Structure 1
Amino acid sequence: MAVTNTASMTIAEMREFAGFAPCEQRYIRRSLDIGLGRQDAFKLWARDAGENAAIRRQYVAYQDLKALRSTIPSEGSIDGIEGFLGALTRIAAFDLGQERLASFAAFRFLYERLLGASARPWLPSAFCAAAALPQIRPERRKILLQSLSEAAATAPGWSTQAPSFYPEFIEAEAA
């Protein structure tokens, strides 16, 4: 039964990922390579000097991810919220400012993988805080904030099951 549930979850995650725009898919894969240290993002993703510079900025922005993974507050606790949410909001603002993630769903998909399942309850707060910052263009801010559904914003609980699908670079994409 556990294998069936895991397979079903993986397929659901693959379907969700397939529903994102191609630029969101590309950014999520690149971000996972950078944030999880899977690949050399410069060799894999940089098509020109501008992307090279963007990847360099992303490496700098993501330098606190490892520390964040170990400081995720428990859902009912207020201890450590300032440091955790502050750092998470700063990283989220970087990602949303790149204008490659167009919705809370894409943001959540990425950050569940960057930080793990225990970060899920904190993602709507960080997303709203980052999307509402003045660095985000007003018309973009509106689109982002409207993408957060009432169900996600008011969820009474979040799954603790770890993500099972981590999309990776596909060679055919480079052609």
Structure 2
Amino acid sequence: MFKRLALGDESALDQIVKKYWHELLTRVFRILRNRYWAEEVLMDVFLELWKQRLKVGFMKYPHTWLHKVANNKAVDRFRKEFAHLSDSLEEVVETVNEQSPEEEMDSKEMKNIMASAIDQLPPAEKKVYVLRTVEGWPVKEIAAALGRSTNTIRNELANSRKSIQKIISNYLHLLLF
């Protein structure tokens, strides 16, 4: 199929899309967790395949190229969309219960402290912390999306929690003494 594609056979592209669509969609969806984005990424992948058909058509393992391009494009899309997540940091500490004016004041102050603590994290730890606590992503999916090992993600989560705890502890110490 890929050799026919290299020769410009559009029906070969249709066959490749039919053969790999579901497999790649599953892979990309695991990273993005959004079907619409995943489908957009796949359209880009197959467009790239058509553009690179001469190169890809004569590769020994062209399906590996497809998987790599799909993964890279999904991670790029993830990074693009992640830039908007930092705007929603206030959701991390949002309170649902009705509160007295004093409690509301304390809650707002705690939100500000928490948001400030999160903002002080190194960028890598901040990404991991927000994805895990705000978005609720499993560690394995964060690792796949960021191209890191699950142990690295767990370490970054632990470090970010320690850092946040230390920042909050220092702030409360200043308040009390």
Alignment TM class, shorter chain as reference:
under 0.3
Larger radius of gyration, structure 1 or 2? 2
Q: TM-score, normalised by structure 2?
A: 0.25
Q: TM-score, normalised by structure 1?
A: 0.26
Considering Cα pairs closer than 8 Å and 6+ residues apart, tell me whether 1 or 2 has the greater RCO: 1
Greater per-residue helix proportion: 2
